[in-house]
Chains A and B, each alone.
Chain A
Amino acid sequence: MDWKSSAEAVIIGAGIVGVSTAYYLAKHGVKDVVLVEKGTICSGSTGRCGAGIRAQWGTEMNCRLGIAALDIFEQLDDELGMSIGLNQGGYLLVAYTDEEKETLRKGMLLQNSLGIQSRQITLSEAREICPGLAAEDATGFFFHARDGHADPFLTTFAYLEAAKRLGVTCHRNTTCTGVTVRDGAVRGVETDKGPISAPIVINCAGAYSQDIAAMAGVELPNWAERHEILITEPVAAGVCPCMLMSFSGNYYIQQRPHGSIICGMSPDGRPEDHDNGTSWQFVEKMSRVLAKLLPRTRGIRVARQWSGQYDMTPDAQPVIGETDVKNFYHSTGYSGHGFMLAPVAGKILAQHITGGKPDIDFTMLDYRRFARGEHIMESNVV
């Protein structure tokens, strides 16, 4: 592919956030966009994620972003001209203490006030949604039928192919080595393949965003946190039709339409590194959770395990918006929820950059909130 040494906008990172931002920018008229990706498409956190999509959140901002993303996901096949593997089996949240049940109930009331039709259900209703569920020790169940999961690979490729048709270019295997700033404004990027001049640069580098920000002299208190995950061989549908998730139980489990079961849990402590390593301890621990919660999975085989990085922020909420450097933007820090929020995140940032009014006001997601001590605390995270 021919090298493009100038563009209207450069986006660093071709994960789901980068490609959706590129697509919506092009759709809003900024067609000469260059994506710079240090690896291959989907080689970072997107291609390693648990694929979940939900609107059951504990803060108003996340609820608004979550339901707006669902609205987009539901018509994305038609918009992008390619199947994204959407499966809306709902998210079934499981509480194990009265305190957790109360937190989830408060979340539900907030969700309901914002038009999200989540509801509290009984154990027997939960068993109808997820047959064979062994959760007698649970104190409460919450369900939202429109939640679910999609294929992160297909969604990313679908966005990128659609963006390319609108004029977007993608330089793979190209590492951003510098962000050029002059007179307080961004002027382009340096890469290992050569410089690209551009009046707009967007940092969508996920777990590496803090490094990219530092290149422009912007301090971002984000970090990369390693999370492990596994997938089973494909089996007949119906083993786990919903996304089964518990914050205190520390698990999420779902079955993809092609039959494989994907599940993960949070790590012990905070493994802060870029190492996508795996451990046998995780497979054993996860298998014990599966065998207890869904006993009929005992005969199903684990096919593969891997890990990926959450791009964490101090309050587990994203960072979206312009920085102290003019026209240098962040769209990062999704803290494990980048895939599910990317469609709306790309859209609202593109609306903002092209001078329109964003569908959702994201002023409060400004990265300077950390310095001001205005953290937005979210309870509903694994």
Chain B
Amino acid sequence: MSTSPETKEKIYVCRCEEITLEEIDEWIDRGYDTVDELKRVLRVGMGPCQGRGCQDIIMREIAKKTGKPITEVAPMRVRPPVKPVKIGLLADGGEK
């Protein structure tokens, strides 16, 4: 993946929330160099895929820009449910 200034095309990192690499870099430059903070300010990883598509890319970008090894970049907290579940299904299940 190229981040050179001559890249004209927008690179979408989070497809659920349509967030570009440029936006992520901008907020890392402001000092928000954690996945959690980028999630809060840009909604990356908050879509239906829950970060499955974008988290690794974001962690690599943080590591690259801060010079930290990727093992020191904390991933976001995994939140249930594992996959989106319909409200009707949840409402009808459980105790009768």
Contacts and interface: CB of A to CB of B under 8 A. Distances in A.
B89 to A, nearest CB: 8
A303 B90 CA distance: 12
Nearest to A47: B40
B66 to A, nearest CB: 12
A133 to B, nearest CB: 16
Given A40-B36, A40-B37, A298 B86 contact: yes
A1 interface: yes
A224 to B, nearest CB: 18
Contact of B46 (A43, A304, A305): A304
Interface string B58-95: 00000000000000000000011100111110111111
Given A278-B79, A305-B79, A40 B34 contact: yes
B32 interface: yes
A275 interface: no
A40 B39 CA distance: 12
A299 B91 contact: no
A41 interface: yes
B31 A1 contact: yes
Interface residues of B, number: 28
B30 interface: yes
Interface string A293-305: 0000111111111
Contact of B87 (A42, A47, A278, A298): A298
Contacts of B90: 283-284, 287-288, 302
A41 B81 contact: no
Contacts of A223: none
B54 to A, nearest CB: 15
Nearest to A261: B87
Contacts of B36: 40, 43
Contact of A291 (B34, B37, B47, B87): B87
Given A1-B31, A284-B93, A305 B80 contact: yes
B41 A283 contact: no
Nearest to A285: B94
B91 A290 contact: yes
A41 B91 CA distance: 35
A301 B87 contact: yes
B48 interface: yes
A280 B79 CA distance: 12
Given A283-B81, A284-B94, A232 B37 contact: no
A303 B87 contact: no
A288 B87 CA distance: 8
Interface string A41-65: 1110001000000000000000000
B84 to A, nearest CB: 3
A301 B37 contact: no
B15 to A, nearest CB: 13
* Residue of B40, B43, B50, B94 most packed against chain A (CB within 10 A): B40
Contacts of B37: 40-42
Given A161-B30, A301-B84, A303-B47, 14 more contacts: A40-B34, A41-B32, A232-B84, A280-B80, A284-B94, A288-B90, A290-B91, A291-B92, A298-B86, A300-B87, A303-B46, A303-B50, A303-B84, A304-B79
7 contacts: A43-B36, A157-B40, A283-B80, A283-B81, A283-B90, A291-B91, A302-B87
